[in-house]
Structure 1
Amino acid sequence: MQAQLETLSALERRLSIAVPREEISKQVDARLKRVAKTAKIDGFRPGKAPLKVVFQNYGFRIQEEVLGETVERSFGEAVVAQNLQVAGYPRFEPKETAEDGDFEFAATFEVYPEVKLGDLTGVELQKPTLTVGDAEVDQTVNILRSQRTRYERVERAAAEGDRVIIDFKGSIDGEVFAGGSSENYAFLIGKGQMLPDFEAGVVGMKEGETKDVTVNFPAEYHGKDVAGKTAVFAITVKNVAAAILPEVDAEFAKSLGIADGDVAKMRAEVKANLEREVRFRLKSRVKETALTAVIDATPIELPKSLVSMEIGRLVEGAQGDLKARGIDPATVPFNPALFEAQAKRRVHLGLTLSELVKAEKLEAKPEQVKAIVEDLAQNYEDPAEVVAWYYASPERLAAPTNMALEDNVVEFVLSKAKVTETAVAFDELMGQQ
């Protein structure tokens, strides 16, 4: 076998490989003889057909198999001989040669880039902090109360926070338009479920009242047929109901799983869960900041093949998420370009972290993995059962192992960087309005 290496760009390479035709012929003949021993061909007893007849029936398939195996084997041998680290999948192209000449083909591929870790000393990082106190517990309890809101009919004008049930019919220039009408439609006033003009028109209306409300559709409205236009809605209010929040009492505590209805126990449990969630979110933010610092400090050229493969994985994940929600992915077009930035970041992180972990010996330790598993298990009713589930299969430990590894990387970055602790607002951290 002969192999010639060409450098096409910083990461792209081409191997031109030639394999003596005699080697291939020997492999084809040997395989053909093995097949002939058991071949079933009409007119002949099994294994008794002449080799020429066997070749006529099986020769093409055998040649294709041998050539395919030869390409893979010879490419692998050439890669080892040239000490190359192939990224992604190669593109094989046969070369035209004389029938009795060597079998020649070219393999075009990318190699992994050299990763030179940047200096993280003195990099300025913000580390958010938040202590969970009574105010945060009160706010969370109020959210839990709002999730258990019930509505009672009232004989007064509709106001913000009320639930109303209405009939409406919209028209533009006197013509009723598609999608502009409904009966027994319920919505909450002040939650942004309807356009501002529509909600403003309903405020002040009483049960049984009908009036026309003028609504201006924004130019960027998702319904292109009505975007930028003015409509008139004939609205009839059929029911006005006020929101009734549950009292923070024994019944409320029981609804949250406190068997004896002890409100103090409920607040303690809410606080414990909240502290765990806050800790997780703070940790996620610090991790994101630290990993971004690693990327920024270590610029590298990314193999296009790896980015393309990562885009494919992200698209598959998005499609799988749709399936889990009962949506047919075929009905939702996916533009791979939308995933490119995320794919590049993942590939960049993967290459950089691999080098950093190896250089600084940041591999995850068993006790770290165990601590993470136990922490994850606290979110379930029977933590011990969850821990046992993780340790029942090595594959299940992959995720917590990666989490431990990332923790080690973050701690390393923080040990090198200039870290400033900054208090973060509860609402901002939890993503609440």
Structure 2
Amino acid sequence: MNVKLKEINPYTRQVTIAVPWEDLESAFEAHMRRFTKKVRMPGFRKGKVPRKVVVQNFGMELEAEFAQDSIEMHYSEALQEHKIVPVNQAKIEDLQFSRGTSLSFIATVEVEPQVKLPKYNRKMKVKKNIYIPDDADVDAYIEEVRQQFAELKTVEEGSGDGHLLLVDMQEMDTSGVPIIGKKVEDRYIKVGDGVFGGDNLSRLTDLKVGDTAMLETETTKEGGLTKYKLTVKNVQEEIFPEMDEEFIKKLDNEATDETSFRENVLKRIQERLDRDAEGQLNEAIIDYFLQSTDLEPPPSMVDNYIENSIEQAKSNNGETFDEDKYRNEARPSVVRSIKWYLIRKALVNGEELSVSDEEINEHIEKILESAEDEKGKIRRYYKKSSNKERLRDDLLDRSLFETLKEYAKISEVIISTSDLRKQRELSTEGA
């Protein structure tokens, strides 16, 4: 077998294969014997049709079958010989074969391109956010927790700021006529919260069960208004628990009083912000490589990823959607994901990183130590090899980013959560 390999572009290979007849003859004869045994013709018993008659009547079919089988076998041999790992189905062209002559064809296939990494061990510069929380974050957390444990009390004398209304909301047209199909039943709204404040606050005040009210909300950038008719079905107020010793112990066994509770909350907030910062740093490192690496993913990898996502979405949701729109919208993020997959693979190989089975088992044991009531569930989960491999991938990611951070020149940016709140307020006002 003669094989010629041509690089069309970084991810496309053209494989020209030629096999002389002397290397095919014995296989062809064996194929012909099998083929003849299946032939049925009038005047002959099955499998007893003379060879010459078979060739005269089925010669083209016989050669086509043999050529197809031979293509698959010799194509696989060529891939192994030249260490080619295709990422798509090969396109077969210029097939030439007839009994007594050589077999030749051209296979065009896509492969993972070779990744030329930047000199990241000297030139990688990234920024890391350092978040500083404050008492306002603790207050917000405590308020959220108190709301979660709040009890609801029915209000008889009429609604006020902060009360909860159970309502039916009917959208109205400009002339005040209800729009069919635009009614939402049994919705809870909070008086004074968001669109239910401002000019609507007075409209939602002093309402009782059975009362109606007209509500206006701005629904377009041009300032267009949508009108709703609200029918009140219940009025309630939230009774929040006091931050006494009993409630604090319910939330945090380690806290002895409100001061120590607040300290513990602040510590947990800081830990969460630190995790967020590490995740953002990892993304900054990924961005560095994406921007610094000249790499185009094979189109077939992108297309296959998108098509698999569509099939999975259809299988999970059972709903139809605009598949062409999804393909167009998903493509940029899919290209990014596959490009990082190829870069990550090159980095892992270059740094000679790996995760052993022993390391995986040790990590699972650590998880079990901190999960008293879930041990059986966790063991069952990691009995599946796919879940173990997913864990191996996560640990490999952790090892990779730890290694890359050692190379990186990291400049820290101090950000207070109070500044973040101000930014959110400004963006909300400008929206």
Q: TM-score, with normalisation over the residues of structure 1?
A: 0.73
How far residue 132 of structure 1 moved from its aligned partner, in angstroms, is: 7.9
Matches within 5 A, 1:50-129: 50-51=48-49, 66-81=66-81, 83=82, 85-95=84-94, 97=96, 99-100=98-99, 101-120=101-120, 121-129=122-130
Partner of residue 181, structure 2: 179
Q: How big is the shift at 1:419?
A: 1.5
User: Would you say 1:17 and 2:17 are equivalent positions?
Assistant: yes
Q: Which residue of 1 aligns with 2:237?
A: 242
Structure having the larger proportion of residues in helix: 2
Native 8 Å contact 2:192 2:201 kept in 1: no
Residue 107 of structure 2 aligns with an amino acid whose one-letter code is A
Answer whether contact 1:87 1:305 (CA < 8 A) is retained.
no
Letter of the 1:357 counterpart: V
Q: Which residue of 2 aligns with 1:288?
A: 283
Q: Is residue 373 of structure 2 the alignment partner of residue 382 of structure 1? A: yes
CA contact (8 A) 1:155 1:206 kept: no
Q: Secondary structure at the match of 1:8?
A: strand
Question: Where do residues 407-426 of structure 1 align in structure 2 (5 Å cutoff)?
Answer: 407-425=398-416
Question: 1: CA distance between counterparts of 2:387 and 2:230?
Answer: 56
Give the CA deviation at 1:415: 1.6
Structure 2 residue runs of 5 or longer lacking an equivalent are: 426-431
SS of 1:172's equivalent in the other structure is: coil
**1:281-360 correspondence to structure 2 within 5 Å:** 281-316=276-311, 318-319=313-314, 323=316, 327-331=317-321, 333=323, 335-360=326-351
SS in 1 for 2:281: helix
Offset at 1:401?
A: 1.9
3-state SS, counterpart of residue 286 of structure 1: helix
Q: Residue by residue, what CA displacement relative to the aligned partner does 1:150-206 show, whole Å, maximum 9, x if unpaired?
A: 3322245534432212345413235432334455543234555x6878954643242
Q: CA deviation at 1:276?
A: 6.2
Give the deviation of 1:410 after TM superposition.
1.5
* Cα distance, 1:66–1:232 mapped onto 2, change above 3 Å: same
SS at match of 2:88: strand
Structure 2 residue matching 1:283: 3-state secondary structure: helix
Distance 1:257 1:69, change over 3 A: farther
Q: Alignment partner of 1:178: what SS? A: strand
1:396 to 387, 410, 423: 387
Structure 1 residues 284, 162: closer, same or farther in 2, change over 3 A? same
Alignment check: 8 A CA contact 1:249 1:261 kept: no
Distance of aligned partners of 1:32 and 1:389 in 2 relative to their CA distance in 1, 3 Å threshold: same
Secondary structure of the residue aligned to 2:87 is strand
User: Aligned partners of 2:73 and 2:202: how far apart in 1?
Assistant: 75
Cα distance, 1:35 vs structure 2 = 7.3
Query: Alignment partner of 1:329: what SS?
Result: coil
> Distance in 2 between the 1:58 and 1:163 partners?
83
Structure 2 CA distance for aligned equivalents of residues 277 and 179 of structure 1? 43
Answer yes or no: is 1:149 the counterpart of 2:145. Answer: no
Query: In structure 2, the residue corresponding to 1:88 is in which secondary structure?
Result: coil
Contact preservation (8 Å) 1:166, 1:238: yes
Q: How much has 1:242 moved relative to structure 2?
A: 1.6
For residues 48 and 392 of structure 2, the distance between their equivalents in structure 1, rounded to whole angstroms, comes to 60
Matched letter for residue 75 of structure 2: F
Distance 1:126 1:341 in 2: 24
- Aligned to 2:9, the other structure's residue is in SS state coil
- Number of equivalences: 414
1:188 match: 190
Distance 1:206 1:242 in 2: 13
Contact 1:165 1:185 in 2 (8 A): yes
Q: What is the distance in 2 between the residues matched to 1:32 and 1:422? A: 75
Judge which range, 1-10 or 71-80, deviates more.
1-10
Cα offsets for 1:70-98 (capped at 9, x unmatched): 222222333344x3634411432343647
Query: What is the distance in 2 between the residues matched to 1:282 and 1:367?
Result: 30
> What per-residue deviation string (whole Å, max 9, x for no partner) do you get for residues 197-254 of structure 1?
895464324214444445554268xxxxxxx765554444343222223344577578
- Separation in 1, partners of 2:188, 2:390: 43
Paired AA for residue 319 in structure 2: P
1:284 deviation in Å?
2.1
CA contact (8 A) 1:197 1:214 kept: no
Deviation at 1:108, TM superposition (A): 1.4
Q: In structure 2, do the counterparts of structure 1 residues 198 and 65 end up closer, same or farther at CA, with 3 Å as the change threshold?
A: farther
Asked if the contact 2:203–2:214 (Cα under 8 Å) also holds between the matched residues in 1, the reply is no
Alpha-carbon spacing, 1:78–1:368, altered in 2? closer, same or farther (3 Å): closer
Instruction: Indicate the SS of the match to 2:235.
Output: strand
| Residues 39, 49 of structure 2: 8 Å contact kept | no
Residues 320-354 of structure 1, C-alpha deviations (whole Å, 9 max, x = no match): 6xx2xxx3232564612222222222222222222
SS in 2 for 1:218: coil
Structure 1 counterpart of 2:87, which letter?
Answer: G
Unaligned runs of 5+ in 1: 221-227
> Kindly tell me: are residues 11 and 185 of structure 1, through their superposed partners in 2, closer, same or farther at Cα, counting changes over 3 Å?
closer
